[in-house]
Amino acid sequence: MLAMTCTSPKNVLKSVFGFPQFRPHQESIIEAALTGRDVFAALPTGGGKSLCYQLPAKIRGGLTLVISPLIALMKDQVDAALSMGVEAAGLHGAMTPDERHAVYQALEQKQVRLLYMAPERLMLDGTIERLKEWGCSAIAVDEAHCISEWGHEFRPEYRQLSRIKEWMPNIPVTAFTATATQRVQDDILEQLGLQNPMVIRAGFDRPEIHYRIESKRDPLLRITEFVKKRPHFSGIIYRSTRADVEKTAAYLQDRGIFALPYHAGLPDEVRQKNQEAFKTDQVNVMVATVAFGMGIDKPDIRYVVHGDLPKSLEAYYQETGRAGRDGDSAEALLLWNAGDLAKIRYHFQRLSDVQERERSEQSLRRMTQFAGSFCCRRQSLLAHFDETHPGECGNCDVCQGEVESVDATVDAQKYLSAIIRTGERYGAHYIVDVVRGTNSENVLQRGHQELPTFGVGADSSRRYWLALSDDLEARGHLYRDEERYKALVITNSGKEILFGQQEFRTMKRSKVSPSQTKRLSLSAQEEDLQPGDMALWEALKNKRTDLAKEAGKPPYMVFPDRTLRAFARLRPHTATELLSCPGVGEKKLATWGTEFLAVIRDFEEGTP
């Protein structure tokens, strides 16, 4: 049976988790939880949410239940907790009967401090009674935005968590999310019925992430170019459909990039195999639908590419936030065009719930406004979460001069005039033919070569005019009439541009190339380490890979990159010196300390 540990949170922070100090807000959340107070905490991805319930579980008596949405995430979190010496277990449908029996025995013998469970299992008959028998003394709700219909990953099963306080009225509840607007936050508090909770709303800024947004022209070519410049880094490429996932993965593979697909249409064993290969660094690139990511606890993802427009800013923030969770430099690239809007709206139109359809449209409008804005990406993103960023961030394509705003009012008027004069009956490619003065068979048959707008844009490329059309559509000045073969129709705001009542500005990529800005090529390890440390850093990584394979764990669960860099820089020679490095707790010291000290010793003895 586990007894309550009489020690301070700061001592446990170092001795168990290996960290010398708390991240912002962690200490106050932990102290409130230990006093039995309900807590709601909105912390950014990488802000250390799991520590806020793992550490109290190590100190307090009884069992802490963690309600988590995905099996893969539970497994990773259980493995990570066990590697640090926290007595953890999970109960889920993917376990064998023998595995579940072993967990039940451990729970009955009070040998588990931290139990992970999905909301569906919590609602099974008899679960609440068993939790009481096992000595449940606290509950943590992870990914709490799933409880809100205003959240981007709403799960109806989470709504049933509103009965927790009814079933276990004297048990403190902590709720955590990495993304929540004020509306979502209020909904979570109401649904869970938290009593006089401590509410922590941390800043949502992820200063380590560089944001870049580009018009989508040849996405496969652009994605390949981007990935090839980052050959040694882990990254996720999100595509909106299964077909595009398969196509993108195959395209990358054909060009010598080892990339694997992940989507719900693949057999379970293939998905699990591909996910495991990514987690264990057997493959660096995962191409996936948004079904991938929430169940991945991998801290060293260096970039996230969206090959299509996300449906909401909440989803975009959550998905880009999967990069750089270890605090090192990371990148987020978004490729989009008006065609993405048409695909998304097609799915919205099939929603039977009118209110849900309206909410979805509202979220998409905000996403589009963000993607098409000319101001600092970070300022725009944080404003959505009711947060103000002081001045330009210096770490996005706008602030670094990679894009500029140009007046395109006259060209927009030319294009809109051509739409009006052809009767708002044709799609973008035909209108571009008219504007550029292309004597195509269709144009000549209809006599549109006689229009005043015929050829007024001959001095600009077809690509330019199609991009302008996309831009006008994306910002609501045009729309495609799907019932009339995607004919372009001008909106009221488009008419204001046409008649000179408002200007139209568009974005233009400047001549400043990304290589001239602070890029990921200046990675954290290169910045932190001296030239003489790099060989040791490589030797330490190789040892970590070997140990991870032997233990059947992802390399980051042995030690994260930041810890290995500290080893390479500080070169500890004793267990005490090793323990002083960030990320080294007593359990990991006992498990792997001797191995890494040997690598450092052998390296120094072999160094001339």
- Give dist(CA 41, CA 48) in Å, integer: 11
Is 53 in contact with 33 (CB distance < 8 Å)?
A: yes
Q: Where are the alpha helices (DSSP H) in 160-267?
A: 164-167, 182-192, 219-228, 242-254
CA atoms within 13 A on the CB side of 302: 20
Question: Which residue reads 């593979």 in tokens?
Answer: 253
- Which of 132-136, 192-196, 253-257, 474-478 has the least mean pLDDT? 474-478
In this prediction, residue 541 carries a pLDDT of 92
In this prediction, residue 516 carries a pLDDT of 44
In this prediction, residue 179 carries a pLDDT of 78
In this prediction, residue 385 carries a pLDDT of 85
- Give dist(CA 594, CA 565) in Å, integer: 17
Whether the pLDDT of residue 474 is over 50: the answer is yes
- Beta-carbon contacts of 543 under 8 Å, excluding residues fewer than 6 positions away, are 595, 596, 599
Closest CA to 558 of 78, 12, 83: 83
Phi, psi of 260 (to 5 degrees): -120, 150
Is 27 in contact with 36 (CB distance < 8 Å)?
A: no
- Give dist(CA 86, CA 360) in Å, integer: 41
**Number of Cβ within a 10 Å radius of residue 449:** 15
Q: Is 91 helix (H, G, I), strand (E, B) or coil?
A: strand
In this prediction, residue 608 carries a pLDDT of 46
Query: How much is the pTM?
Result: 0.80
CA of residue 20 relative to chain centroid, distance: 27
- Give dist(CA 211, CA 331) in Å, integer: 6
In this prediction, residue 294 carries a pLDDT of 52
In this prediction, residue 540 carries a pLDDT of 95
Percent of the chain with pLDDT over 90: 57
- Beta-carbon contacts of 50 under 8 Å, excluding residues fewer than 6 positions away, are 77, 80, 142
Task: Kindly report, residue by residue over 15-31, the tens digit of the pLDDT.
Answer: 999 998 999 899 999 99
- Which of 2-16, 196-210, 381-395 has the least mean pLDDT? 2-16
What's the mean pLDDT in 83-104? 91
**Number of Cβ within a 10 Å radius of residue 593:** 17
What's the mean pLDDT in 138-162? 80
Residues β-bridged to residue 66: 116, 140
In this prediction, residue 154 carries a pLDDT of 66
In this prediction, residue 346 carries a pLDDT of 82
Q: Which residue has the higher pLDDT, 81 or 509?
A: 81
Take residue 496 and report the two structure tokens written for it. Answer: 């204001």
Whether the pLDDT of residue 5 is over 70: the answer is no
Domains of the chain: 9-201 (3.40.50.300), 209-401 (3.40.50.300), 406-509 (1.10.10.10), 524-606 (1.10.150.80)
**Number of Cβ within a 10 Å radius of residue 561:** 22
In this prediction, residue 517 carries a pLDDT of 43
Check residue 525 and report its DSSP letter.
Answer: H
Whether the pLDDT of residue 525 is over 50: the answer is no
In this prediction, residue 522 carries a pLDDT of 40
In this prediction, residue 69 carries a pLDDT of 79
What's the mean pLDDT in 149-161? 72
Whether the pLDDT of residue 152 is over 80: the answer is no
Strand pairing report for 234-238 and 301-306 = parallel
- Give dist(CA 578, CA 591) in Å, integer: 13
Whether the pLDDT of residue 2 is over 70: the answer is no
In this prediction, residue 520 carries a pLDDT of 44
What's the mean pLDDT in 473-491? 84
- Residue 70's alpha-carbon distances to 66, 116, 291, 294, in angstroms, are 12, 10, 11, 7
- Give dist(CA 37, CA 174) in Å, integer: 8
First to last CA, the chain: 53
Which H helix or E strand runs over 34? helix 26-34
- Which of 84-98, 176-190, 306-320, 516-530 has the least mean pLDDT? 516-530
Q: Which residue has the higher pLDDT, 330 or 143?
A: 330
Task: Kindly report, residue by residue over 440-466, the tens digit of the pLDDT.
Answer: 999 999 999 999 999 999 999 998 998
- Angle of helix 586-606 versus helix 71-83 axis, rounded to 10: 70
Whether the pLDDT of residue 547 is over 90: the answer is yes
What's the mean pLDDT in 353-380? 87
Question: Would you place residue 521 in the very low, low, confident or very high pLDDT band (cuts 50, 70, 90)?
Answer: very low
What's the mean pLDDT in 280-284? 92
Considering just the CA atoms, what is the radius of gyration of the chain in Å?
A: 27
Residues β-bridged to residue 212: 333
Whether the pLDDT of residue 274 is over 50: the answer is yes
SS (H, E, C) 300-347: CEEEEEECCCCCCHHHHHHHHCCCCCCCCCEEEEEEECHHHHHHHHHH
Mean pLDDT of the chain: 88
In this prediction, residue 384 carries a pLDDT of 87
In this prediction, residue 515 carries a pLDDT of 46
Residues β-bridged to residue 102: none
Task: Kindly report, residue by residue over 291-305, the tens digit of the pLDDT.
Answer: 665 557 788 999 999
